[in-house]
């Protein structure tokens, strides 16, 4: 198996070039991140992968098979599942019914739901830890719970490739980490558009950095996500360290613009030095400091 490959892909929207000559390799079983500022083309690339957009040139290949030329949308959906940012259509369904829609690519128009379909749905709910909420209305769930249900729906397709478009948006930090830990544990090929560079560095095996629809750099996060590249692409000053718990790259960011100086008479953000022999400052004065 060769995995997923976007080979020299070019995508136009309303005659405007959005993605140009993009090649991305996702070896089997890897977690690959698409990184870049807003408008760089990440979501557009993903839409081409899961058959929502057809490239103007190039090809999306799954083990060498062109998914647009050789596979229709239904056949593609049996091998590539997507977790997108649009899911308003399922808000009136129960959790189990939402997950069951993932079986549609495997069913004919008039076939009843089979025992195998029900077993796959049950297993998907168990995998994401949502069995206890199977009968709850989808609309009643928290943001993190909804993302787990939508991941279960994608898993119910029994895909070989999972496509994620900003899967951690609107989630608190605990839900973000839990979701990405779960996704990484699945062992299937993942292509994800991510904004959070710390999360990308922590979970991705490979990253591809886009700007204006073109590939600027690709490789392991530790090799690619340098302060110079982040300054060039995201227009920020970046300080890179090693995360003390994971050993992965970890970042602190600041605007390229110099911080404004304090006006005369305004308190400074920096505390005054404590005179020798004076008692230590009150803990209240240290609130927010490390």
Which range, of 25-34, 81-90, 112-121, 240-249, averages the lowest pLDDT? 81-90
Domains and CATH numbers, the chain: 4-225 (3.40.50.300)
Q: Is the pLDDT of residue 284 over 50?
A: no
Q: Is the pLDDT of residue 234 over 70?
A: yes
Residue partners of 275: CB distance under 8 A and separation at least 6: none
Residue 118, both tokens: 């029900």
Report d(CA 34, CA 14) in Å as an integer. Answer: 23
- Alpha carbon dihedral 249, 255, 258, 263, in 10-degree steps, equals -120
What is the percentage of the chain residues whose pLDDT exceeds 90? Answer: 78
pLDDT digits (tens, 9 = 90+) for 76-107: 999 999 998 765 555 689 999 999 999 999 98
Calculate ∠ Cα 54-51-164, nearest 5°. Answer: 120
The pLDDT of residue 257: 84
Cβ-count burial 241-255 (b if 16+ within 10 Å, e if not): eeeeeeebbbbeeee
pLDDT digits (tens, 9 = 90+) for 129-145: 999 999 999 999 998 99
Q: Is the pLDDT of residue 288 over 50?
A: no
Provide the whole-model pTM: 0.85
User: 48 near 80, Cβ under 8 Å?
Assistant: no
Residue partners of 191: CB distance under 8 A and separation at least 6: 4, 24, 26, 32, 34, 46, 49, 161, 162, 163, 164
Calculate ∠ Cα 187-189-190, nearest 5°. Answer: 105
* pLDDT band, very low/low/confident/very high, at 190 (cuts 50, 70, 90): very high
User: 104 near 98, Cβ under 8 Å?
Assistant: no
The pLDDT of residue 86: 67
Residue 162, both tokens: 């999972």
Which one has a higher pLDDT value, 271 or 122? 122
The pLDDT of residue 145: 93
């Amino acid at each position: 198996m060769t995995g997923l490959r976007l080979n020299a892909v070019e995508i136009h929207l309303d005659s405007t070039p959005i993605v140009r000559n993009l090649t991305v390799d996702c070896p089997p079983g890897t977690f690959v991140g698409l990184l870049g500022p807003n408008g760089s083309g990440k979501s557009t690339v993903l839409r081409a992968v899961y058959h929502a957009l057809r490239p103007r040139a190039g090809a999306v290949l799954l083990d060498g098979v062109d998914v647009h030329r050789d596979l229709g949308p239904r056949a593609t959906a049996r091998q590539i599942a997507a977790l997108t940012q649009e899911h308003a259509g399922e808000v009136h369904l129960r959790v189990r019914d939402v997950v069951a829609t993932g079986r549609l690519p495997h069913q004919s128009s008039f076939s009843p739901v089979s025992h195998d379909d029900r077993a796959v749905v049950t297993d998907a709910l168990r995998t994401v830890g949502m069995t206890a909420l199977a009968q709850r209305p989808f609309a009643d769930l928290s943001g993190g719970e909804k993302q787990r249900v939508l991941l279960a729906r994608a898993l119910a397709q029994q895909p070989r490739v999972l496509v994620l478009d900003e899967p951690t948006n609107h989630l608190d930090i605990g839900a973000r980490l839990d979701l990405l830990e779960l996704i990484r544990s699945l062992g299937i090929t993942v292509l994800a558009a991510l904004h959070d560079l710390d999360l990308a560095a922590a979970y991705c095996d490979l990253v591809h950095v886009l700007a204006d629809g073109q590939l600027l750099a690709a490789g392991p996060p530790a090799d690619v996500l340098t302060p110079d590249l982040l300054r060039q692409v995201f227009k920020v000053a970046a300080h890179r360290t090693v995360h003390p718990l994971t050993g992965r790259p970890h970042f602190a960011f600041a605007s390229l613009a110099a911080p404004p100086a304090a006006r005369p008479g305004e308190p400074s953000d920096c505390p005054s030095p404590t005179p020798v022999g004076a008692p230590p400052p009150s803990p209240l004065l240290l609130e927010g400091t490390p």
